[in-house]
Amino acid sequence: MTIPMSQLDAGRWEDELPDGMLGISETLSFTLDPTGEWQKSKSYNTGGVTVRVSGTISNPSGFTWNIKFSSSQGYSKTKDNIPTGEAVSFDIKTNCGITDVALTIASVNGTADAGVVGQIKIDS
């Protein structure tokens, strides 16, 4: 039996993990806290596979970053000394069911860059 798309609850499928992807492509704005860091977390319905997530901090220019992705499955990886404009990729392990994924951005200058505003584009 085929269910017409018009009968599907669109919200029910939001954040489903299709074919090893988180299904995201978005630009996030961030403001560094007093320690020079920013974190964003989100939960996804996942299938216990490894997904590739890439990101590029597009501004501010002239800064260098430490970028970390972690998941509730136990995955945690940091890539250090990434200049603005350079893309980085992470292969994140996920759970069967719900996986919480966290992105942390930190300036290598720490507290000296508190309050800096920037943007990162995330794709998966």
CB half-sphere exposure, 64, CA atoms < 13 A:
6
Q: Does any domain span residue 28?
A: yes
**Mean pLDDT for the stretch of residues 19-39:** 83
Which residue range forms the structural domain that includes residue 42? 18-123
Render pLDDT for 32-77 as a digit per residue (tens, 0 to 9): 999 999 999 988 887 778 888 899 999 999 999 999 999 998 899 9
Q: Does any domain span residue 75?
A: yes
d(CA 10, CA 98): 18
Kindly report whether the global pTM for this prediction surpasses the value 0.75: yes
**Mean pLDDT for the stretch of residues 113-119:** 97
Q: Does any domain span residue 12?
A: no
The reported pLDDT for the residue numbered 97 is 84
The reported pLDDT for the residue numbered 46 is 79
Q: Does any domain span residue 107?
A: yes
Q: Does any domain span residue 119?
A: yes
Read off the CATH number of the domain in which 108 is found.
2.60.120.380
The reported pLDDT for the residue numbered 6 is 45
Q: How many domains does the chain have?
A: 1
